[in-house]
Amino acid sequence: MARKIIIDTDPGIDDAMAILFAFQAPQLEVLGLTTTFGNVSVDLATQNAIKLTEIAQVTVPVAKGVAVPSHIAPRPHPDFVHGKDGFGNINLPAPAGSAIDKSAAQFIVDTVRAFPGEVTIIALGPLGNLAKALELDPEVADLVDEVVLMGGTAIEYGNVSPVAEANIMNDPHAADKVFTAPWQVTMIGLDVTHQVLLDNDILSRIKQANPEEGGFLFDCAQYYIDFYSSRFDMNGCYFHDASTIAYVMDPSIFGVELGAVRVACEGIGIGQTIFAPQGMSFPEPHWNDVPMTQVCMEVDSEKLLTLFETTLS
C-alpha cells in the first residue's frame, strides 16, 4: 500500500525536485500540497505548486498557507538562489488551475482526521503551517504517522548563520512548536544534505528519459547549480528537499540518532536547532520531557541519487 503524504512546500527549485520525485514514486500517494512563504512569497509558492501538478499531469489539491513568520519580521526571499520566479528565472506561463478554498493548516487537520495514523507530513520550508495545524487541533499530533522535515543542523555549520539553517531561521518559533509536539519528527538537515551532490550528468539522463519533467528540472536547476558553483566551487548542488522523499521511500538509506531538539528563538543563535542526544543529561532543563526526534546524520549518497534518478526516469 502506498504511503499517504502531504507535502508542505515553498517552491523553490529543490522543492520542485522533491515534489516531482514524490509524484513519480509508486510507493507514495500525494494527498495534497500546502504552501508557505520561504524561497518565494506564499502567493508565488502557491502558483508554483499548482504549476508542478500541471507539469506532472496529476490532480492534487493545493492549499495556500501562512504568508509571514509567527513572531519575527520576515527575511528577504533568496532570489539569488532560486530566481525571482522560484524556478531559476525560466519564466513559465501562469498555471491554469487554482488553490482550493481552504487554508493549509485546515487542510492538514482535515486530511489527517480523515486518515488517522496514516498520513506523513513532509515539510520542505518554514514550519508555520504545521504550527498553525497544532493550534487549530492539538490532538492532530497524535494522529499523524510522522513529520519528516528538511531543515536544521545538529553539528554541521548553518547556511544563513554559522549555526542556523534557512527553513528554521525563517520561523524559529513555529519550528520549536513542531519539534516539541507529541508526534514523531524526523529531521533531515544539513548534516546529511551537505553529503550529497546532484550534478548535471544525472539531470541530463533524467531529461533524456523523461523530457517533460526532466527537461523542466534540468532547465530550472541551472540557476541553482550556478549559485552553488560560484559560492562553493562545486560541480553541482546540494541535495536538500528531495532527500525527504527518499527517506520516506527507503529509510534504510539514512543513519539516524535520537535526541531532543529545541530551537533558539532570539539572539545571536536564532534559528539554531540545538540537539541533545538521547541518554545525555544537562543542568539546563530546556530539553527535559521533549519528545525524541530522529536526526539523520549519515546517508548513502550513491543509493540516494540512484533512487532519485530511477524514479524520475
Nearest to 11 by CA among 220, 309, 165: 220
Which cell numbers hold the place of 52?
508542478
Helix (H) or strand (E) holding 30: strand 28-35
β-strand partners of 296: 256
Q: Which of 8, 10, 171, 191 is catalytic?
A: 10
- Our answer to whether residue 194 is catalytic in this structure is no
Looking only at the bridges linking them, the beta strands covering 62-64 and 146-150 are unpaired
Nearest to 174 by CA among 105, 248, 247, 240: 105
Grid coordinates 500500500 are at which residue? Answer: 1
β-strand partners of 263: 273
Looking only at the bridges linking them, the beta strands covering 293-299 and 185-188 are parallel
- Our answer to whether residue 240 is catalytic in this structure is yes
**Any alpha helices (H) in the chain, and if so which ranges?**
13-24, 42-56, 79-82, 104-114, 128-136, 166-170, 172-180, 190-193, 200-209, 211-232, 242-249, 301-312
Q: Which of 85, 171, 240, 241 is catalytic?
A: 240
Burial category of 77 from C-beta neighbours within 10 Å (exposed 0-12, middle 13-18, buried 19 and up): buried
Q: Residues, the chain, total?
A: 313
Amino acid at 286: H
Query: Catalytic amino acids?
Result: 10, 240
